[in-house]
Amino acid sequence: MTDTRGQQPPYEAYGAKPQPQQQQGQPYHPPQAYPGPGEAGARGGQQAGRPGPGAPAGSPATRRPRTGARTTPRTRKARLRVSKADPWSVMKVSFLLSIALGICTVIAAAVLWMVMDAMGVFSTVGGTISQATGSNDGNGFDLQSFLSLPRVLMFTAVIAVIDVVLATALATLGSFIYNISAGFVGGVELTLAEDE
């Protein structure tokens, strides 16, 4: 029995794409599911506005204009919490600050005394007080000798030393109290902002 149907095409699955005809004299290249590195580089370079590694050399890079650029700066915020204060560091800082405050107090008292003395305040007020407290036997209270510059500076220095001791002790005690209270409520929350 002879088959008269001739040469039949190879069996193909249902829904399969027809295979491209292979040209004579050229090697066969199977289809690829993903693009090659050269094609991907060329496409990525074209999308970014610059030639990719697979693009031909000397091709001009086209730069696309930016659309929707931000003009207002964005502010980043962070919430932090002071959970503990080191008493030793608090004592050192408060000691130095109180010393600086004491020196400023002494200098301010000296400058104020010089200004009031130049304006004649002590002589005027001292004459009035001496007349009011004076008698026939002797003179009254001498305000100028009582409020002399060395005595005023000495009194101010004593106050500054007491202020240094009290401020340092109170700040250190306050740090201990803050640590105890922060263990119950969590501490003070701070919101820090940074402009970009």
Task: Quote the pLDDT of residue 136.
Answer: 59
Task: Quote the pLDDT of residue 159.
Answer: 95
- When pLDDT is cut at 50, 70 and 90, the band that residue 18 belongs to is low
pLDDT tens track for 77-115: 888 888 899 999 999 999 999 999 999 999 999 999 999
Q: Which residue would you say has higher pLDDT here, 117 or 173? A: 173
For residue 52, what is the DSSP state? -
| Alpha-carbon distances of 58 from 18, 43, 46, 123, rounded to whole Å | 38, 16, 14, 95
pTM of this structure: 0.54
Calpha distance 85→76 (Å, rounded): 26
pLDDT tens track for 133-186: 766 566 667 777 788 888 899 999 999 999 999 999 999 999 999 999 998 888
| pLDDT > 70 in the chain, percent | 59
171's CB contacts (< 8 A; 6+ apart) are: 90, 91, 93, 94
| pLDDT > 90 in the chain, percent | 30
Calpha distance 4→23 (Å, rounded): 29
Task: Quote the pLDDT of residue 77.
Answer: 86
Using the predicted structure, report yes or no on whether residue 61 has a pLDDT greater than 60: no
What number is the average pLDDT over the span 8-35? 57
Q: Apex CA 136: angle with CA 134 and CA 137, to 5°? A: 95
Which tokens in the block code for residue 139? 């003179």
What number is the average pLDDT over the span 119-129? 80
| Alpha-carbon distances of 4 from 1, 7, 8, 10, rounded to whole Å | 9, 9, 11, 17
Helix axes 149-185, 87-119, angle to 10 degrees: 150
Q: Which strand (E) or helix (H) includes residue 92?
A: helix 87-119
Task: Quote the pLDDT of residue 74.
Answer: 79
